[in-house]
Amino acid sequence: MWETRHWRFVFLLVLLTGYLCAQSLPLISAGEAGMDGAKLEQIDRVIEKAIGQKQIPGAVLLVMRDNCIVYRKAYGFRQIYPEKRPMRVETVFDLASLTKPLATATSLMILLEQGRIRLLDKVKLYIPAFTPWIVDSTEEKSDVRIIHLLTHTSGLPPYAPVDELKKRFGSPAPDSLIHYIATVKRHHAPGTYFKYSCLNFITLQHIIERISGRTLQDFSKKNIFKPLGMEHTDYKPSATADCAPTQLLDDGTLLQGIVHDPLARVMMDCISGNAGLFSTADDLALFSAMMLNMGSFNGTRILSAASVRTMTSLPAGYEKFGRGLGWDLNSAYSSNQGDLFGSQTYGHTGYTGTSLIIDPETRTGVIFLTNRVHPHDKGSVVRLRSLVANMVAAAIIK
289-298, long-range: CB < 8 A, 24+ apart: 289/25, 289/64, 289/67, 289/365, 290/228, 291/358, 292/67, 292/358, 292/360, 292/363, 292/365, 293/67, 297/67, 297/228, 298/22, 298/228, 298/229
pLDDT at 82: 95
What type of residue is 302?
I
- Supply the mean pLDDT for the chain: 94
Main-chain phi, psi angles of 86, to 5 degrees: -65, 150
pLDDT at 11: 41
Which residues lie below 8 Å from residue 188, measured CB to CB, with a gap of 6+?
Answer: 133, 155, 195
- In this predicted structure, the answer to whether residue 17 has a pLDDT above a threshold of 60 is no
Of 397, 382, 369, nearest to 74 by C-alpha is 369
pTM for the whole structure = 0.93
pLDDT at 138: 79
Summarize the confidence of residues 248-264 as an average pLDDT. Answer: 97
What type of residue is 325?
L
- In this predicted structure, the answer to whether residue 2 has a pLDDT above a threshold of 60 is no
What is the pLDDT confidence band of residue 108, given thresholds at 50, 70 and 90? very high
Find the angle CA(233)-CA(329)-CA(321) to the nearest 5 degrees: 125
Sign of the dihedral through C-alpha 317, 319, 325, 326: negative
Domain spans of the chain? 26-117+214-394
The terminus-to-terminus CA distance of the chain in angstroms comes to 54
pLDDT, tens digit (0-9, with 9 covering 90-100), for 307-326: 999 999 999 999 999 999 99
- The one-character DSSP state at 307 is H
Summarize the confidence of residues 14-35 as an average pLDDT. Answer: 73
- In this predicted structure, the answer to whether residue 20 has a pLDDT above a threshold of 70 is no
Summarize the confidence of residues 280-289 as an average pLDDT. Answer: 98
Lowest-pLDDT range, 20-24, 173-177, 312-316? 20-24
Classify residue 214 by burial, with Cβ atoms within 10 Å: 0-12, 13-18, 19+: middle
Whether 151 contacts 325, CB under 8 Å: yes
Summarize the confidence of residues 287-291 as an average pLDDT. Answer: 98
Summarize the confidence of residues 147-175 as an average pLDDT. Answer: 98
Q: Is 300 helix (H, G, I), strand (E, B) or coil?
A: strand
In order of 43, 118, 139, 223, 361, the CA distances from 286 in angstroms are 23, 27, 49, 14, 18
Of 110, 102, 25, 111, nearest to 71 by C-alpha is 25
- In this predicted structure, the answer to whether residue 174 has a pLDDT above a threshold of 90 is yes
Main-chain phi, psi angles of 226, to 5 degrees: -65, -45
**CATH number of the structural domain 26-117+214-394:** 3.40.710.10
- For the chain, percent helix, then strand, then coil, each to nearest 5? 40, 15, 45
- In this predicted structure, the answer to whether residue 19 has a pLDDT above a threshold of 90 is no
pLDDT at 14: 40
pLDDT at 23: 61
Summarize the confidence of residues 58-68 as an average pLDDT. Answer: 98
pLDDT, tens digit (0-9, with 9 covering 90-100), for 339-383: 999 999 999 999 999 999 999 999 999 999 999 999 999 999 999
What is the pLDDT confidence band of residue 9, given thresholds at 50, 70 and 90? very low
What type of residue is 91?
T
Summarize the confidence of residues 71-100 as an average pLDDT. Answer: 98
Whether 147 contacts 325, CB under 8 Å: yes
Comparison of pLDDT for 387 and 18, the residue scoring more: 387
Q: Is 114 helix (H, G, I), strand (E, B) or coil?
A: coil
- In this predicted structure, the answer to whether residue 21 has a pLDDT above a threshold of 80 is no
pLDDT at 10: 40
Q: How far apart are CA 238 and CA 243, in angstroms?
A: 10
Lowest-pLDDT range, 22-31, 93-102, 342-351? 22-31
Summarize the confidence of residues 256-280 as an average pLDDT. Answer: 98
What is the 3-state secondary structure of 335-365? HHHCCCCCCCCEEEEECCCEEEEEECCCCEE
How many C-beta atoms lie closer than 10 Å to residue 331's C-beta? 17
Q: How far apart are CA 43 and CA 61, in angstroms?
A: 9
384-397 b/e (C-beta count within 10 Å ≥ 16 → b): bbbbbbbbbbbbbe
